[in-house]
Homo-oligomer: A and B are copies of this chain.
């Protein structure tokens, strides 16, 4: 918990010697690895790695670690980053009227179960202002004009930039983001979709599930891309339903799955456990 660590995240073409190079580098500097995850995708010929290293075992800080590691990264053609686990990510939460995911995230934030900052909450409705502000978090109401959405998303973008957010969570925001925003924050916007994707893309998935007569309903947290509900999946889960569950009960049962799946997905993201490759994710859970 309180142990100070750096995280080294790497992906590169697979070949012999990557682990040896990275772990040898760390070992030479006394780096104590407390958690190590690797994955070699043989089909893609691609290698993924996440190391968590005790900060107090290294002779430099994260900036020094980056400088020292850069030549190795160069050698192997790595995409890589070093993060400091003690620096909380800044996550803007966007919400519409449905507040279960927001409430759940606020609790996990407030109780320090999950480690992140919420510089602000943005909503197209006023409903959640009081609850959010009780937490001491700024609340911005940005209404969306259905005939001209551009100004609203310009304002959202301005707010996200102004608070120097690392990530945006769409906690049942119910509005489709414009392509330029998806592109600008690629791999940094997490959505919760209230179905087990790829089933029931788009609006009203619980109604569609009810019509189809499925025996399980689900939820999916994924990175947002331009194509609706088609981005890289981070986490999914399901819950059993029965013939006597109405649409209202599907919606009720689904809420608990949505909360859990969004929270787990965000946790993985905050802890740098998600590596995106193409349209898929490696999740070192």
Contact = CB atoms under 8 A, between A and B. Distances in A.
Interface of A: 1, 16-17, 19-21, 23-24, 26-28, 30-36, 38-43, 57, 99-100, 103-104, 107, 111, 113, 134, 196-200, 212-216, 218, 232-238, 242-244, 246, 248, 252, 255-256, 260, 279-283
Contacts of A104: 107
Nearest to A255: B113
A178 B182 CA distance: 46
Contacts of A38: 33, 36
A185 B175 CA distance: 46
A39 B243 contact: yes
Nearest to A276: B213
Contacts of A99: 111
A281 B241 CA distance: 12
Contacts of A196: 196, 199, 216, 238
18 contacts: A16-B27, A16-B30, A19-B19, A19-B33, A20-B20, A20-B24, A42-B246, A100-B107, A104-B107, A113-B252, A198-B212, A212-B233, A216-B236, A216-B237, A238-B238, A242-B283, A243-B283, A256-B260
B32 A16 contact: yes
A237 B101 CA distance: 22
A58 B140 CA distance: 50
Contacts of A237: 216
A233 B213 contact: yes
